[in-house]
Chain A
Amino acid sequence: MELFRYATSIYGDSRVVIGASWDLLPWFVAAGAAFIIVHAVVKAIAGRRGHAG
């Protein structure tokens, strides 16, 4: 997996960065989902402890 998208320069001798790699999109979505899941679990556990206390 690459961080950037590349194209060949107009002279044909090197690669130039043309933007961020779209392969990263699922990773950003996964990071958001992970945050949501962890937060929901922590809040649920804290809520149960609160009720028990």
Chain B
Amino acid sequence: MPVSGSASMSASETRAPVTPIEAAAPAHRVLRHPLVDRVYHWLMAASVLTLMGSAFLPIVGWKFDWVNLHWMTGIVLALLVLIHMVRALIWQDWRAMVLDGADIRNGVRSIRAALGSGGPPPGKPGKYKILQKLYHLAAAILVLSIVASGLLMLLKIDTPLWRRNPYWFDADTWGVIYSVHGFASMALVMLVMIHIYFALRPDEWWLTRSMFRGTISRTEYAEHCDASRWQAEDRA
């Protein structure tokens, strides 16, 4: 251990040197996902997995009475998406999830660096990386398509709340609605696979942990994020 042997050294002299990051850090951790957003994320995950299971397991041969489970969970997903949209637009910084010029510039620089073309290195992202933003955009388009088409498909089933009325649309229009629902659902399977893969990658565990704990360490914040693009809130 590189410590001086001098017995007369004071406590302040034996302490490790303070880095600029530590000097500027009043707390050890910063908030990434407040509790309400983590609860939303895991409810969304549970409902999407339930919907996929109730949709695709019967198709691959596991027969069970899936219709009631599917439409009820679909209503839950629709409500969750509605709450998320209202919360994102009113209480959250929705711009944090929108692609901006810096993202595109850094993306181009990352590609050039990966190809060994030289040039300036890519800068750090704000709260979300460019690929996270693109993923969110794709997931949003698919989920909104699924929810919209799914709500229309509710007109085809009897429930305790309403009676079926399949005559709202003609056969061709129903074909379009069902096709949108089917294609978007299958594409969402692909996105969920990719999402789980990234969550399990060791180099992304700092993000996965934050979806459980809500916070990331100051070191992770300094290492992965540009503080000028995301001013994170301190947490003890």
Contact = CB atoms under 8 A, between A and B. Distances in A.
A35 B194 contact: yes
A6 B194 CA distance: 31
Given A25-B186, A28-B187, A16 B193 contact: no
Interface residues of A, number: 23
B181 A25 contact: no
Interface string A22-53: 10110011011101100110010010000000
B189 interface: yes
A32 B193 contact: yes
Query: Which of under 10, 10 to 19, 20 to 34, or 35 or more describes the interface residues of B?
Result: 20 to 34
Contact of A19 (B179, B187, B193, B203): B179
B179 A4 contact: yes
B172 A16 contact: yes
At the interface, is chain A mostly helix, strand, loop or mixed? helix
Interface string B53-69: 00010011000000000
Interface string B189-206: 111011001000101000
B174 interface: yes
Nearest to B203: A43
Nearest to A47: B203
Nearest to A16: B171
8 contacts: A19-B175, A19-B182, A20-B181, A20-B182, A28-B186, A32-B189, A32-B190, A36-B194
